[in-house]
Structure 1
């Protein structure tokens, strides 16, 4: 497990370096401060399917991905990232983290450590009243995620969530949908996994 966490930490550092070379964010609200929304932690826990994201190195080539959050007795959050690399015929793999809620953020901002070398914060930027859809991003807007309780999300709902990201100042042209079923691979707007090495 330590190797997996270390590998993800290294991947995150590489992703951060890659983001530094990314084209400038053309959104006119790119420099607006991201405010975390208030979160009801017990309702927010559980499985969230990754519907779309700006994929960083540790997420590239994955399909069927989801995150599973569970509240621990000490107030921290068990955080599992699960998916299949290169296709739905591949084995399920996962990475596991422990997240810490940042004080005075109404549970909306979490510190995530990928290894002892690499930590970041992510903010819950939107959650609907039924806790079926959420948007999460990191403060500099270089990474973001659209997640849902169900792996299938209509095109209309996806467009609505992208519109929220645009209003928040993200470069929505960088978002790609994550295949949650094999028939979505290769479709326009969806990520296409590479091949096993």
Structure 2
């Protein structure tokens, strides 16, 4: 019981320490995920185009995320970045994600830590996804995390404008974005 209580008290503190301040306006409407994500179509390799800075991605460039569907319906996550520059030494982090009930695949609970996160509405919300599953914007309700993802390492200015508009419509502050060096 003491161990559970300690975990429940420490987990929010750890989360607060690894994330930055909220990047969503205090008066922003409630965050909305896309209506549905076909999880099997979302699987595969994604390149990070931009992100809100976090301590766990400090000095990361050339960042990718690879999602693989498991037999049990959960998703293996492998995030890889290159330290310092797009050509730096690679480092990776693995996690297992599960789709949140009632989210039609648009909200996931991803846990990279051996310390279990508190139950909730998920910490990985797909808030924009094009119809071809080539570009996505991912955030979560606190506004501390935001990622622009693409199937290609470089996007057009037109695509970037669409991603920016999607994030801005959800109340995200675009000035907090850090560009990810890919190519």
TM-score, with length taken from structure 2: 0.83
Asked if 2 retains the 8 angstrom alpha-carbon contact of 1:14 and 1:57, the reply is no
1:34 to 31, 36, 42: 31
Query: In 1, distance between residues paired with 2:81 and 2:13?
Result: 21
Asked if 2 retains the 8 angstrom alpha-carbon contact of 1:29 and 1:167, the reply is no
Residue ranges of structure 1 left out of the alignment (5+ in a row): 1-9, 182-197
1:92 aligns with 2:90: yes
Query: In 1, distance between residues paired with 2:64 and 2:170?
Result: 23
Relative distance call for 1:62 and 1:26 in structure 2 (3 A) is closer
Q: Give the aligned partner of residue 67 of structure 2.
A: 69
Cα RMSD for the two superposed structures? 2.3
Q: Give the aligned partner of residue 125 of structure 2.
A: 123
Residue ranges of structure 2 left out of the alignment (5+ in a row): 1-9
Q: Deviations 1:25-80 (Å, cap 9, x if unpaired)?
A: 574752x1112221001110000100011021111211110100000000000000
Query: In 2, distance between residues paired with 1:147 and 1:162?
Result: 12
2:156 to 141, 154, 161: 154
Query: In 2, distance between residues paired with 1:26 and 1:130?
Result: 27
Residue 136 of structure 1: how far off its partner (Å): 0.5
Q: Give the aligned partner of residue 186 of structure 1.
A: none
Aligned residues: 168
Relative distance call for 1:13 and 1:92 in structure 2 (3 A) is farther
Asked if 2 retains the 8 angstrom alpha-carbon contact of 1:141 and 1:170, the reply is yes
Q: State the secondary structure of the residue aligned to 2:79.
A: strand
Asked if 1 retains the 8 angstrom alpha-carbon contact of 2:60 and 2:84, the reply is yes
Residue 18 of structure 1: how far off its partner (Å): 6.4
TM-score, with length taken from structure 1: 0.77
Q: How does 1:48-197 map to 2 (within 5 A)?
A: 48-117=46-115, 119=117, 121-181=123-183
Query: In 2, distance between residues paired with 1:88 and 1:122?
Result: 25
Relative distance call for 1:35 and 1:26 in structure 2 (3 A) is closer
Asked if 1 retains the 8 angstrom alpha-carbon contact of 2:65 and 2:80, the reply is yes
Q: Give the aligned partner of residue 194 of structure 1.
A: none
